[in-house]
Amino acid sequence: MRFLCLHGYGTSADIFKTQTSGFRSKLAIYPPPIFDFINGPFPSLPAAGIDLFYPPPYYSFYDSASVPALQAAQTWLLDYVAKHGPYDAVMTFSQGGVLASSLLLNHFIDTPHLPSPFKLAVFLCSGLNLAVLDELGLPVGQKARNLDKSSRQALASQASSEAILAQGHERWTGIESAEATEGEVLETDVYGLDFTQYPKEWRIRIPTVHVYGKKDPRCPSSIQLAWFCEERKRREYDHGAGHEVPRKRDVSVAIAEAVDWAVKMAGREA
């Protein structure tokens, strides 16, 4: 089994390889999978705080958050898969997940009769770009837009070098907003998105794993993405921390078990 691995903004293939080493070493997949870690095509500034831990170079998969930039990145990714694939799975972090999820969602909306580019997806701290929903003509409420803006600002603050040096792991506090309170997520209000207004068939219909942390300001976006994936084929895991992949043993085991489950699920559908 081959995994294509897409890193987050302002990091790199080597950094993503290190970030995922803990749970990858505990996978029960046999024969052992091949992980193809690739760099985004754009040289980038480092993500907030990343230069404290990892030296350059740093990359990104697109150079702006606009829909045209994301569409160009999808074209680039499909071209890469055509040249270097096929791949069975995609594994992503943050920006890499925005790219892969938008590609997959567009596939299942526009060309559901064709084979999916990937048979399963692993989304680590990965969410949605609301502009993609706008482009699809799906209604996005003001609550979702406000939360998206405030969560991005909170992430930039909590992930910064200053916050790391001053507070360490205690810097992760999630997002303080009346619109992001804990409790049951309802279909009519997934952090401001009303899924009863969206066509039921407009879902990512391959096995998916969604790993996020309740202290990550972008956690609501990760949960919104999970709702765009078919319920019976998805598994979610909250590691309880921030915008990161903790390498504690219990977390690594839990993530590995979720990925093993998705691989088995994809095998049954093959």
How does pLDDT run across 203-226, given as a tens digit for each residue?
999 999 999 999 999 999 999 999
pLDDT of residue 270: 67
pLDDT of residue 177: 58
Long-range contacts (CB closer than 8 Å, 24 or more residues apart) made by 177-181? 177/146, 177/147, 177/150, 179/143, 179/146, 179/147, 180/147, 180/151, 180/220
pTM for the structure as a whole: 0.96
Query: What rounded mean pLDDT belongs to the chain?
Result: 95
Q: In which residue ranges of the chain is pLDDT below 70?
A: 177-183, 270
Q: Which residues contact 173 (CB under 8 A, 6 or more apart)?
A: 158, 215
| Burial environment of residue 93 by CB neighbours within 10 A (0 to 12, 13 to 18, 19 or more) | buried
pLDDT of residue 184: 76
